[in-house]
Amino acid sequence: MKCDLASVKEKPFFCKTSLICEDEREINKLIRGRILMALIITEECINCDVCEPECPNGAISPGDEIYVIDPNLCTECVGHYDTSQCTEVCPVDCIIQDPDRQETKEELLEKYERISE
Q: What is the pLDDT of residue 37?
A: 56
Whether 9 has a pLDDT exceeding 60, the answer reads no
The residues, any chain, with a CB within 8 Å of residue 94's CB and separated by 6 or more, are: 41, 42, 43, 44, 45, 46, 66
Domains along the chain with CATH numbers:
1-35 (no CATH), 36-115 (3.30.70.20)
Under the phi-then-psi rule, with left for phi > 0, alpha for psi from -120 to 50, and beta for the rest, what region is 58?
A: left
Phi, psi torsion values for 54, nearest 5 degrees:
-80, -20
Per residue in 58-101, pLDDT (tens digit) is 999 999 999 999 988 999 999 999 999 999 999 999 999 877 77
Whether 17 has a pLDDT exceeding 60, the answer reads no
Tell me which range, 4-18, 33-47, 102-116, is most confidently predicted by mean pLDDT.
Answer: 102-116
Angle in degrees, CA 110, 117, 84, rounded to 5: 50
> pTM (2 decimals)?
0.67
Using DSSP, state whether 63 is helix, strand or coil.
Answer: coil
